[in-house]
Each structure stands twice: as C-alpha cells, then as structure tokens.
Amino acid sequence: MRIATWNVNSLKAREGRVEEWLALRTPDVLLMQETKLSDEAAPVLPFRMAGYELAHHGEGRWNGVAIASRVGIADVSFGFEGRGPDAEGARFVAATCGGIRLISVYAPNGRALETPFYAAKLDWFDRLIEWIARSARPDDALILGGDLNVAPGDADVYDPLVYIGTTHTSAPERHAFGELIAWGLVDLYRLHHPEPGRFTWWDYRAGNFHKGLGMRIDHLLGTQSIAERCVGAEIDRDARKGKLPSDHAPMWIDLA
C-alpha cells in the first residue's frame, strides 16, 4: 500500500500534473494540501475517472486540504469543527482508507516570529495535538501527513544558520513537532533516510531548487504499527521539475 502527500499549491493550477503523477507513481492514497478550491470546485469527477474517490475540504482562494483514495474512503471528518484551525481556513481533513485512519493537514506558515500569525501557528499545533490525543490512540493504525511547515531538525534545512530567527525551525515549532512524536508518531521518511539534505520544498525564487536550497517541511508520521509495516519512503524530486511545478515535491511511503 502506497500513501503519498503533496502540497500542490492550487489543485486547479496543478490538476494535470497531479493526474499524471497519480498514473506514474500509483499511490493508493494521496493527501493534498493548498488545493485553494471550494468544495464545489473540487475535481471530483476527474479523480473518479482516474480511479480515486476524493474527500475535499476547502473554502477557495487559500488553504484547502483533500484525500484521494482508490482503496475506499469513509468516516470523513473536518476535525476541528470550526473551533481551531478552521477559523483560519480549511487545514484538516481525516478519513479512513484501506483500514488506516489518515489525516491530511496544512499547518499555518507563521510568516515571522514576532507576528500574531506565528502565535496562531503554535496554537494550531496545540489544537492538532489535542485532537489527536482525544480522537485516536497510539496503537491505532494512523497516519498524519501533510505540510507541517516545520523542519524538525538542522538536517532538514540546507544551512541552519540561515534560519536563525525565522519560522519553520524555531524551538517552539520543533517542540510542537516533538509533541506529535512523543504521543506516538514516527517520522516515516527519517526511518528510511537518516541522511541530511533531503527536502520537500524549495522557494520558487532565485533558482533555489536547482541550487539545492530547500527544507524538509512535508511529513508522513505514522503510529508504531504503521512504522513496522513501512518498507520504504521517497521524496519525488522529479515532480518539482519542469513547467509550472508546485513549490513542494510529493513524498510517499510504502507499507507491507
């Protein structure tokens, strides 16, 4: 079973590339973020033609998350029910696919440390952790995936010195990521790739992708039973290449 996550940076702009990628990499489930679509505009029919059911949660313009599955999709939940992250836009959708509880999240960016947006980001993580602790157990088969907008360690950025005093690497953000791990989630990419310098996002500007100036901020975290089944993990850098890519690469894991 292959589970993938991808911040597509507009599913409208990326629909063709996403469909090509589904055919190429054949994930059973794809978690998406930043669809930037309303539910009415979600491309349910094209996904169905490709063999995937789509659960979408979005208000259009900004944010928006989705889960596409070809192994069934049930018990769709928007998680915070309007009291948390959804106050800042649609950032959470959960569903059960192929016997696994999956959550697709898009964490707030945070913008800059001294802003209310950063405080809201930390608050969002608090509510995410609360939701998980209340709604799931560490011995469930559960995967939390998406754009967490946190590089959990110095190995997850091209140069730690560049990020001093910025978001994505601050101690409180890394602490929030650590709380997810402490609850019982395993960083499934790191399980297979301990090496530094593996990134999922590169700024569009300044040729950063080609210079290797990126960060690992998209994640697939799984409970212990998932980690035990996880036989591989890859970031698809190729999908960041070519004409009009997302600024994020997709990542996937394979489960036995």
Partner DNA sequence: ATGGTTGTTGCACAA
Q: Which residues bind DNA (CB under 7 A)?
A: 9-10, 12-13, 36, 38, 60-62, 108-109, 111, 117, 162, 204-208, 211, 213, 244
CB of 182 to DNA, least distance (A): 26
208 or 225: CB nearest DNA? 208
Query: In whole angstroms, what is the distance from residue 22 CA to residue 6 CA?
Result: 11
**Number of CB atoms found within 10 A of residue 131's CB:** 21
Residue 175 Cβ vs DNA, minimum distance, rounded to whole Å: 21
CB of 112 to DNA, least distance (A): 10
Contact 128, 92 (CB under 8 A): yes
Q: Which is nearer to DNA, 62 or 78 (CB)?
A: 62
Using alpha carbons only, how large is the chain's radius of gyration in Å?
17
Of residues 7 and 96, the one with the C-beta less far from DNA: 7
Best CA proximity match to 181, nearest among 229, 228, 249, 132: 132
Nearest approach, Cβ of 167 to DNA (angstroms)? 10
- Per residue, the 3-state secondary structure of 90-110, as one string, reads CCEEEEEECCEEEEEEECCCC
Nearer to DNA, 139 or 203 (CB): 203
Q: Cβ of residue 240: shortest distance to DNA, in angstroms?
A: 11
Q: How far is the CB of 159 from DNA (least distance, A)?
A: 7
CB of 40 to DNA, least distance (A): 7
Residue 185: half-sphere exposure toward Cβ, Cα within 13 Å = 24
Which is nearer to DNA, 17 or 190 (by Cβ)?
Answer: 17
8 Å CB contact between 233 and 192? yes
Nearer CB in complex with DNA: 26/166: 166
The CA distance from 90 to 183, in Å, is 24
Q: Where are the beta strands (DSSP E) in the chain?
A: 2-7, 29-33, 53-57, 65-69, 74-77, 92-97, 100-106, 142-147, 186-187, 201-202, 214-215, 218-222, 230-235, 251-255
> Residue 12 or residue 193: which is nearer to DNA going by CB?
12
- Residue in the structure block whose two tokens are 């800059």: 112
